[in-house]
Amino acid sequence: MSGIIGGAGSKSGIIGITELPENKTFSGIASISGSGYEEGAFTLSPNTGSFTTVTAQSHYTRIGSYCHCSYSLNNLASSAFATLSGLPFTTRPSGTGYDSVAMSSFMMNGVDTVDATFEVSMYIYNMNIYIYQAVDGAGWAAMTASHMGTGDDIQMAWSYHCQS
């Protein structure tokens, strides 16, 4: 390989799964060495209600214990959901010890938020995904099915630590 990784070789350009197979050790790249790289898809399930998954936007990329995900929930049903399950990997730690706000971003269409909400964040707990609203001058508020209506959409991306 040449360019981004290693010395001179026959391959260059974007690093893909064919260049970084699982559990392959690359000298000089400590962050990847021995821990693997993987890409794929996963399927989220709501605790209630339904939505349409855009398959092409259901994607994870894992490097070592770091997993980045993107997902598109389209055409939410009225009273769609409060929690989502279906993470591609077990969190690290696997139980309530993993109590963390995931680094996340959301783009929402039609979803109602509490007045004075200034931030929406993902919270992963007990292997479930929650969406929380930070409200100016008030306590945080979990987004529930009552905030969603028929035809609403949520596109989201997040990262979390998973079991190796």
> Which residues here bind another protein, judged by CB under 8 A?
38-43, 60, 86-90, 92-96, 114, 125-128, 130, 135, 138-142, 144, 163
Q: How far is the CB of 27 from another protein (least distance, A)?
A: 26
Closer CB to another protein, 69 or 154, in the complex? 69
Q: How far is the CB of 3 from another protein (least distance, A)?
A: 26
Closer CB to another protein, 5 or 135, in the complex? 135
Closer CB to another protein, 4 or 142, in the complex? 142
Helices (H), 74-161: none
Measured in degrees and rounded to the nearest 5, phi and psi for residue 92 equal -125, 115
Q: How far apart are CA 99 and CA 132, in angstroms?
A: 13
First CA to last CA across the chain, in angstroms? 26
Q: How far is the CB of 8 from another protein (least distance, A)?
A: 31
Q: How far is the CB of 112 from another protein (least distance, A)?
A: 11
Q: How many CB atoms lie within 10 A of CB 86?
A: 15
DSSP category for residue 76 = P
Q: How many CB atoms lie within 10 A of CB 126?
A: 13
Closer CB to another protein, 2 or 163, in the complex? 163
Q: How far is the CB of 6 from another protein (least distance, A)?
A: 25
Closer CB to another protein, 28 or 139, in the complex? 139
DSSP 3-34: TTSSSS-S--SS--TTTS-TT---TT-TTTTT
